[in-house]
């Protein structure tokens, strides 16, 4: 990481593409995660250009933008998923509760438990429903016995709105569930390790409208318990589920603000052209 | 962030919006024409022309219904955002307001037969100039809509005061005439209603202007400085009347 101290992080105000000034604030309440002047390079190619943004617990934050704009790349910086790509290089400052997540002493496995992730395609383990949920708490040593583990499995499935549908078949394979149920299983799996932040990368793009509505309702239910960041291609979905929206374009953050403002009266012309369907 | 005129990727959306703009221009044009015809009928005591205004109001009503249907469909099918959404909401409300303007013109036309009997009352001479100003406000508010022109919209809102001042003058003159010529009270009441209709037309033009401003800028038009409110004078004159 750059040699900026956390003091600098707090003071380095706005910096974004082309000098456009806009809010980086997540709104009221202390930010759960802060990012300052983040750049991502894939080899020579710069995928993210100087992005600064805060997210907090009170608001669901949506990242929108055309394909290739960098929104997923940026999301993946928040739990160091880009570490798995050898040519990826991340600079700038990203903190979780004030802690630099790219600091050498940061345990990446622990970090990914605190900052969970749900992907586009549901990816349950080829194990039972029960074991899908119990896996994380077991490896992180979060349960001291069978009863406690049962409790974690039940509450996680309840929070993910799946308990009533699977409580009588916890030993069935997770992969036998429907797509929407599998995605809620993946959210339950993320919840099971008691994360602080949940990142969702197009969690509904493989789901039908009813399964999508259930996920959106679930996001609404768990808002406030976790800081939630969702990347979506579906602008209506961003409008429905989020309180803060960030619009990315060509690796830059064009505009970040209150979702109702972004969708009724955006400040930047590029945002307007994108959300009204005048892009490209 | 106002509309830059850039085309939508889905061209059918632009087709819908252009069709709506065309219909708003048409309903506006018809309403202006209705005011002009009603006033000409009044000045020339032309009962046939007055009847035509009443008949043609149905066309305005039909247009309003068609605008509302297409706006409703477009919102449902295109899920508009930002300036598109604001424009469609404004279109929906403007069609209702302009239809009301047509109703006021029709109401003026309906009074022509009564006022064409007997001699013209003095205050009637002020009505054509008042209607001229009110009509210009209607025209300019719809011009502002067509051009997404928030500045012209503010100008319309400011000029409504001229119509209000006319109303206050006509109100005073007519009340005086009534006091001096009690036998004309029936006709004079019709003159008052016509002046009131024109005053309301000015207000509705201002409503259109406010929606144009909102559609263009995404915020409400700031409160304008208002001069003398005709309603204040009416309240005062009631007291005066009691004393008389």
Count of all residues that appear for chain B in the document: 244
Indicate whether B28 pLDDT > 50: yes
What pLDDT was estimated at residue A5?
Answer: 37
Size of interface A-B (CB pairs under 8 A): 49
Range 64-103 of B in CB contact (< 8 A) with A = 79-86
Q: What is the pLDDT of residues A217-269, one digit of tens each?
A: 999 999 999 999 999 999 999 999 999 999 999 999 999 999 999 999 999 99
Written as six digits, the tokens of A148 are 């406690």
Strand-by-strand arrangement of the A33-42 sheet = A45-55, A33-42, A88-96, A99-100
CB B156 within 8 A of CB B137: yes
- In this structure, is residue A258 part of a structural domain? yes
- In this structure, is residue A280 part of a structural domain? no
Rounded to whole angstroms, what are the CA distances from A56 to A39, A115, B105, B192, B226? 21, 13, 57, 62, 45
Set of chain B residues whose Cβ sits within 8 Å of the Cβ of A275: 81-82
Mutate to test the interface with B, among A247, A270, A278 (most CBs of B within 10 A): A278
Which of these ranges, A142-151, B127-136, B229-238, has the smallest mean pLDDT?
B229-238
- In this structure, is residue A59 part of a structural domain? yes
Residue B89 and residue B82: Cα distance in Å, rounded? 11
Q: Which residue of B has its CA nearest to A266?
A: B1
Set of chain B residues whose Cβ sits within 8 Å of the Cβ of A272: 1, 4, 82-83
CB A85 within 8 A of CB A150: no
Min distance B127 CA to chain A CA atoms (Å): 42
Written as six digits, the tokens of A54 are 């805060």
Set of chain A residues whose Cβ sits within 8 Å of the Cβ of B9: 277-280
Give strand pairing partners of A99.
A96
* Domain that includes residue A91, residue range: 6-275
Set of chain B residues whose Cβ sits within 8 Å of the Cβ of A269: 1, 4
Residue A94 is part of a domain; what is its CATH number? Answer: 3.40.50.300
Written as six digits, the tokens of B243 are 């004393």
Interface contact flag, A280 B7, Cβ < 8 Å: no
What's the half-sphere exposure (Cβ side, CA atoms, 13 Å) at A151?
8
- In this structure, is residue A257 part of a structural domain? yes
Number of domains in chain A: 1
What pLDDT was estimated at residue B224?
Answer: 73
Set of chain B residues whose Cβ sits within 8 Å of the Cβ of A264: 81-82, 85-86, 218
Q: What is the pLDDT of residues B127-175, one digit of tens each?
A: 999 999 999 999 999 999 999 999 999 999 999 999 999 999 999 999 9
Nearest to A264 among B4, B10, B85 (CB): B85
Q: Which residue of B has its CA nearest to A265?
A: B82
User: What's the pTM value of the predicted model, to 2 decimals?
Assistant: 0.82
Residue A94 and residue A89: Cα distance in Å, rounded? 14
All structural domains of chain B, each given as residue ranges with its CATH number in brackets, are 11-243 (1.20.58.220)
Min distance B25 CA to chain A CA atoms (Å): 24
- In this structure, is residue A27 part of a structural domain? yes
Q: How confident is the model at residue B123 (pLDDT cuts 50, 70, 90)?
A: confident
- In this structure, is residue A1 part of a structural domain? no
Written as six digits, the tokens of B148 are 């997404």
B193 CB within 8 Å of a chain A CB: no
Q: How confident is the model at residue A29 (pLDDT cuts 50, 70, 90)?
A: confident
Element of type H or E holding A188: helix A179-192
Residue A93 and residue A2: Cα distance in Å, rounded? 7
What pLDDT was estimated at residue A3?
Answer: 41
Q: Is A75 helix (H, G, I), strand (E, B) or coil?
A: helix
Q: Let me know the angle formed at the C-alpha of B242 by B240 and B244, rounded to the nearest 5 degrees.
A: 70
- In this structure, is residue A117 part of a structural domain? yes
Q: How confident is the model at residue A24 (pLDDT cuts 50, 70, 90)?
A: confident
What pLDDT was estimated at residue B12?
Answer: 87
Written as six digits, the tokens of B13 are 């959306």
Q: Which residue has the tokens 């409503």?
A: B207
A7: exposed, middle or buried (Cβ count in 10 Å: 0-12, 13-18, 19+):
exposed
Of A5 and B11, more confident: B11
Q: What is the pLDDT of residues A187-202, one digit of tens each?
A: 999 999 999 999 999 9
Nearest to B84 among A235, A239, A276 (CB): A276
CB A143 within 8 A of CB A153: no
- Spell out the residues 6+ positions from residue A7 whose beta carbon is closer than 8 angstroms to its own: none
- In this structure, is residue A246 part of a structural domain? yes
Written as six digits, the tokens of A56 are 């907090």
Q: How confident is the model at residue B112 (pLDDT cuts 50, 70, 90)?
A: very high
Residue A98 and residue A124: Cα distance in Å, rounded? 32
């Amino acid at each position: 990481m750059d040699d900026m101290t956390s003091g600098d992080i707090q003071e380095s105000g706005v910096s974004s593409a082309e000098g456009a000034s806009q809010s980086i604030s997540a709104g009221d309440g202390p930010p759960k995660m802060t990012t300052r002047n983040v750049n991502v390079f894939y080899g020579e190619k710069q995928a993210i250009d100087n992005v600064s943004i805060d997210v907090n617990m009170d608001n669901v934050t949506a990242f929108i933008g055309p394909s290739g704009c960098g929104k997923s790349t940026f999301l993946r910086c928040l739990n160091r998923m880009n570490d798995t790509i050898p040519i990826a290089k991340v600079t700038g400052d990203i903190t979780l509760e004030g802690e630099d997540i790219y600091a050498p002493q940061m345990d990446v496995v622990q970090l990914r438990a605190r900052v969970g992730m749900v992907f586009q395609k549901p990816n349950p383990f080829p194990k039972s429903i029960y074991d899908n949920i119990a896996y994380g708490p077991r490896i992180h040593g979060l349960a001291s016995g069978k009863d406690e583990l049962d409790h974690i499995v039940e509450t996680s499935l309840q929070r993910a709105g799946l308990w009533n549908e699977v409580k009588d078949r916890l030993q069935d394979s997770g992969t036998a569930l429907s797509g929407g149920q599998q995605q809620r299983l993946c959210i339950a799996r993320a919840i099971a390790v008691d994360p602080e932040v949940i990142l969702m990368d197009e969690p509904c793009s493989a789901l039908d409208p009813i399964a999508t509505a259930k996920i959106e309702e679930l996001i609404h239910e768990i808002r406030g318990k976790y800081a939630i960041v969702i990347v979506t291609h579906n602008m209506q979905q961003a409008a429905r589920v989020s309180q803060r929206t960030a619009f990315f374009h060509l690796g830059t953050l064009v505009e970040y603000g209150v979702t109702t403002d972004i969708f009724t009266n955006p400040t930047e012309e590029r945002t307007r052209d994108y959300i009204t369907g005048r892009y490209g | 962030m106002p509309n830059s005129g850039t085309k939508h990727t889905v061209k059918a959306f632009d087709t819908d919006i252009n069709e709506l703009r065309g219909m708003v221009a048409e309903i506006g044009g018809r309403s202006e024409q209705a005011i002009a015809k009603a006033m000409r009928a009044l000045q020339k005591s032309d009962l046939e022309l007055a009847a035509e205004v009443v008949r043609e109001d149905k066309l305005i009503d039909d247009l309003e219904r068609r605008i509302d249907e297409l706006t409703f469909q477009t919102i449902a099918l295109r899920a508009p955002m930002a300036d598109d959404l604001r424009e469609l909401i404004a279109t929906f409300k403007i069609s209702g307001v302009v239809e009301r303007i047509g109703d006021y013109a029709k109401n003026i036309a309906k009074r022509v037969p009564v006022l064409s009997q007997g001699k013209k009352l003095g205050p009637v001479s002020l009505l054509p100039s008042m209607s001229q100003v009110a009509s210009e406000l209607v025209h300019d508010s719809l011009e502002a809509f067509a051009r997404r022109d928030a500045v012209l919209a503010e100008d319309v809102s400011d000029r409504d005061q001229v119509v209000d001042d006319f109303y206050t003058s006509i109100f005073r003159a007519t009340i005086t005439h009534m006091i001096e010529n009690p036998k004309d009270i029936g006709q004079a009441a019709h003159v008052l209603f016509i002046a009131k209709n024109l005053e309301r037309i000015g207000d509705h033009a201002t409503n259109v202007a406010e929606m144009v401003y909102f559609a263009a800028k995404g915020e409400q038009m700031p409160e304008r400085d208002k001069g003398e409110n005709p309603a204040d004078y009416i309240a005062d004159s009631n007291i005066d009347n009691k004393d008389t």
